């Protein structure tokens, strides 16, 4: 049994077309992994930056996993949402990144995309918002069916993760 601690934060997001953003996040792991403590999913507050276009959430991530194998290394998936002045929520981007496998402190920039609808949908999106979303959110962290998707590039989510590994060297794993 080897253990992984992930301690860090979702710092914020930049590069989105409008502010007032929040983020839903989750960590997906394979079957050999077990969550010992911490929360594996969550949602940040809505942040409305006043000057910059960077929304800061500083949302904590603190999870402790134990594993029997390397397969299914934790994957962090994100959804960035926009809340408009009427309180309606609109999807702004899906993002994904692997939890780094080397111990230490990592600054990660996680790029996001959003599904693109037909041109009628794009037109209506421009005026009233909304837009298509993924039916199954596992497509965010699975590569298999991605080719069916038509997406457009959105902003970037900034993460800071510190990874601590334990007992991996006991099983001959170099990280």
Partner 1 sequence: MTHPAWNEDTGGAVYRSRDPICNLRIRVCLQRVTSTSLLLQQLQQPSCQPGQQLISLATLGSQNAASGYRPEEEEEEAVIGWQEKLFSQFEVDLYQNKSACQSPLDRQYHQDILKLEKSGGRKNYRIFTYTDHDRFTNMEEHCKRVTTSAQEAPSYLAERMANVRRRRQERKPLDGSVFKSRIVTWKPSEEFIKNNHVINTPMQTMYIMADLGPQDKLGHGDCEHVLCTIRVDSNGVITVKPDFTGTKGAYRIELEGEKRELWKYTLENASAVVQREEEEREQRVFKDLYSRHKEYLQGLVGSDFEMTLPGSLRLFINGEIVSAQGYEYNNLYIHFFLELPSRWSCPPSQQLSGVTQTCATKVIGKDRVAFFSFPFTLEVFFTQEDELEGSLPQWPVLYFEVLSLDFWQRYRVEGYGFVMLPATPGAHTLTVSTWRPVEPGTVSELRRFFIGGSPELEDLTYTRVPSTFQGDRLSRFGFRTETTGSVTFRLNCLQQSKAFLESSSMKKRMQSVLDRMGGFSQRGSLYGVLEAFQRARRRMQEARESLPQDLISTSTAQL
Binding site residues, partner 1, CB under 8 A = 1-2, 15, 32, 34, 36, 66-71, 73, 75, 94-98, 100-102, 106, 110-113, 116, 141-144, 146-154, 169-175
Least CB distance from residue 51 to partner 1, whole Å? 20
Q: Are residues 80 and 86 in contact, defined by beta-carbon separation less than 8 angstroms?
A: no
Closest approach of partner 1 to the CB of residue 171, in Å: 4
Which CB, 4 or 55, lies closer to partner 1? 4
Q: Which two tokens stand for residue 55?
A: 């929304």
Nearer to partner 1, 52 or 169 (CB): 169
> What tokens does 36 get?
């010992």
Q: How far is the CB of 126 from partner 1 (least distance, A)?
A: 14
Closest CB 47 distance from partner 1, rounded Å: 14
User: What does DSSP say about strands 104-115 and 89-98: parallel, antiparallel, or unpaired?
Assistant: antiparallel
For partner 1, which is the closer residue by CB, 88 or 146?
146
Of residues 57 and 96, the one with the C-beta less far from partner 1: 96
Q: Shortest approach of partner 1 to residue 86 CB, angstroms? A: 21
Q: Strands of 89-98's sheet, edge to edge?
A: 41-43, 21-28, 75-83, 89-98, 104-115
Contact 112, 126 (CB under 8 A): no
Nearer to partner 1, 7 or 66 (CB): 66
* Closest to 115 measured CA to CA, from 132, 127, 101, 98: 132
Residue (of 3, 35, 18) closest to 93 by Cα position: 18
């Amino acid at each position: 049994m080897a253990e992984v601690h992930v301690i860090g934060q979702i710092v914020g997001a930049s590069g989105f077309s409008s502010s007032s953003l929040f983020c839903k996040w989750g960590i997906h792991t394979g079957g050999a992994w077990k969550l010992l403590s911490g929360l594996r999913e969550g949602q940040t507050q809505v942040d409305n930056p006043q000057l910059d276009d960077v929304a800061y959430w500083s949302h904590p991530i603190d999870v402790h996993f134990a594993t029997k194998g390397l397969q299914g290394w934790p994957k962090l998936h994100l959804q960035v949402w926009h809340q408009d002045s009427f309180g309606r929520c609109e999807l702004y981007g899906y993002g994904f990144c692997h939890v780094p496998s080397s111990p230490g402190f990592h600054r990660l920039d996680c790029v996001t995309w959003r599904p693109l609808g037909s041109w009628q949908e794009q037109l209506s999106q421009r005026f009233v918002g909304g837009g298509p979303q993924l039916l199954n959110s596992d497509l965010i962290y699975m590569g298999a069916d991605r080719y069916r998707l038509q997406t457009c590039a959105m902003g970037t989510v900034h993460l800071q993760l510190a990874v601590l590994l334990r007992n991996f060297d006991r099983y001959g794993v170099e990280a």
